[in-house]
Chains A and B, each alone.
Chain A
Amino acid sequence: SQKIEQNSEALNIQEGKTATLTCNYTNYSPAYLQWYRQDPGRGPVFLLLIRENEKEKRKERLKVTFDTTLKQSLFHITASQPADSATYLCALVGNEKLTFGTGTRLTIIP
């Protein structure tokens, strides 16, 4: 069956360091992969989309990689700040479906 796993439920990172979140998938052939941010009590907010033929995408301090051989996406936040603390969700688009992972709760420690 199709499965999406995000590396850990929670991740604590020191302010200023790079936070790296992992999204692994099995039994998928996704056309796109997306990352969303969700703050407590709010709906998810779209951050980045990367297509299957793209290896890397950047937006300000964010970087996403997509390795279809490893079936993995990495999401990096460089120079992390306490304001980056949130839950981050990956989502795969394929076969006319969008499927979300369960998320990683990131805390940036001052």
Chain B
Amino acid sequence: NAGVTQTPKFQVLKTGQSMTLQCAQDMNHNSMYWYRQDPGMGLRLIYYSASEGTTDKGEVPNGYNVSRLNKREFSLRLESAAPSQTSVYFCASETGTFEGKQFFGPGTRLTVL
């Protein structure tokens, strides 16, 4: 039982490059979330998916897209990376939606030059 896994752990991009962050959970959770964490800003919600086939914007969705591939997997795509997207990205999952405890992955540290 791995919980929530994320790949890659680290990534360096040049401005304008694209990439996809992968997230998978093996707890049969309905809801999945993508956050970014920046110093002094706390965790901010980018997008979430309350169930397979649905996605919704969070607090800071601009510059990102998501795909809920199936119940297990939820990916985050940066189409044209910008230095402002340098951050640590966390994926999380939860049985319900915004009501119980969330399980977080280990994070992806992304640097955009």
Interface, chain A (partner B; CB < 8 A)? 4, 31-32, 34, 41-46, 49, 89, 91, 93, 96-98, 100-103
Name the residue of chain B whose CB is nearest to the CB of A97. Answer: B98
B42 engages A98 (CB within 8 Å): no
B42 engages A103 (CB within 8 Å): yes
Interface footprint category on B? 20 to 34
Beyond A46-B103, A102-B42, 19 additional pairs, beta carbon < 8 A? A34-B101, A41-B106, A41-B107, A42-B106, A42-B107, A43-B90, A43-B104, A43-B105, A44-B90, A45-B104, A46-B102, A49-B101, A89-B42, A91-B43, A96-B97, A96-B98, A97-B98, A98-B45, A102-B41
Name the residue of chain B whose CB is nearest to the CB of A44. Answer: B104
Distance A34 CA – B101 CA, assembled complex (angstroms): 8
Interface, chain B (partner A; CB < 8 A)? 4, 40-45, 90, 92, 97-107
Distance A26 CA – B97 CA, assembled complex (angstroms): 23
Per DSSP, chain A at the interface is strand
Interfacial chain A residues near B103, Cβ < 8 Å: 46
Interfacial chain B residues near A91, Cβ < 8 Å: 43
- Given the known A-B contacts A42-B107, A43-B90, A43-B107, are A102 and B102 also in contact in the complex, defined by CB atoms under 8 Å? no
Interfacial chain B residues near A4, Cβ < 8 Å: 42
Interfacial chain A residues near B90, Cβ < 8 Å: 43-44
Interfacial chain A residues near B44, Cβ < 8 Å: 100
Interfacial chain B residues near A102, Cβ < 8 Å: 40-42
Distance A43 CA – B33 CA, assembled complex (angstroms): 13
Distance A103 CA – B99 CA, assembled complex (angstroms): 20
